[in-house]
Amino acid sequence: MNDDQLLRYSRHILLDEVGIEGQQRILDAHALVIGAGGLGCPAALFLASAGVGEITLVDHDTVDLTNLQRQIGHTTERVGMPKVESLAAALHALNPGVKVHCLQQRADDALLDHAVPRASVVLDCSDNYRTRHAINAACMRHRVPLVAAAVIRFDGQLSVFDPRQPDSPCYACLFPPDAEFEEVQCSTMGVFAPLVGVMGSLQATEALKLLSGAGTPMTGQLLMLEGRSMEWSRMRAHRNTECKVCG
């Protein structure tokens, strides 16, 4: 690290659990953030501020006026711009030392098989069930840890899946891909704006723990927040030996 980096990241370096070595691991890391919306914005901003060396953003969409209620990486002036480019501008303004790659594409199997193996950690900030399963399957194939979150209305959830750990379940162990599931979207159900900030920030927290070695990642756990009452609940998930993805 140079003098500028030592100063910029000094509050991390002061933490015994991070220190010089942990901060260097963050600087050497590559995070893949899939989704540049409500979750992806705060997650990517905190990854950039913490000094993750490379961040790849994946999103096929453009900034819309309705996004600005909760997607804090975008601005009114950038309405109509690709979300990945808008968020990249915010990340560069925050930390010019971070290398940002923009992929304005859907996260299909071909893209995931190209991008996931190059990542140190994957953050699933997508907004639909099919994409979540595709991301999970790619992470299991390429043995890359996954931090997944979802928010709808006043409800949020967060989980970490690490295929490098023999006892870690995967997303499909909790939510089987062939299960009947009613897809709900914020465009019809609504979403409480600060809640995506809470869950996206927690995604960054877990990702940075995985990268730096600080603390204990919540691998194999599902953390849930009911935002109206601010009640947190947690359940431990177990690997399903009959899972079609990781079993």
- Which residues participate in catalysis according to the annotation? 186
Query: What is the chain's Cα-based Rg?
Result: 17
What is d(CA 37, CA 53) in angstroms, rounded to the nearest whole number?
21
* SS3 (DSSP) at 141: helix
Chain position carrying tokens 């099919």: 130
Phi, psi of 198 (to 5 degrees): -60, -50
State the DSSP H helix or E strand holding residue 41, giving kind and residue range, or none if neither: helix 40-50
Tokens 């062939």, located at residue = 178
Beta strands 121-124; 30-34: pairing state: parallel
Nearest alpha-carbon partner for 185 in 38, 48, 6: 38
Angle at 49 between CA 6 and CA 146, to 5 degrees: 115
* Nearest residue to 200 via CA among 147, 133, 135: 147
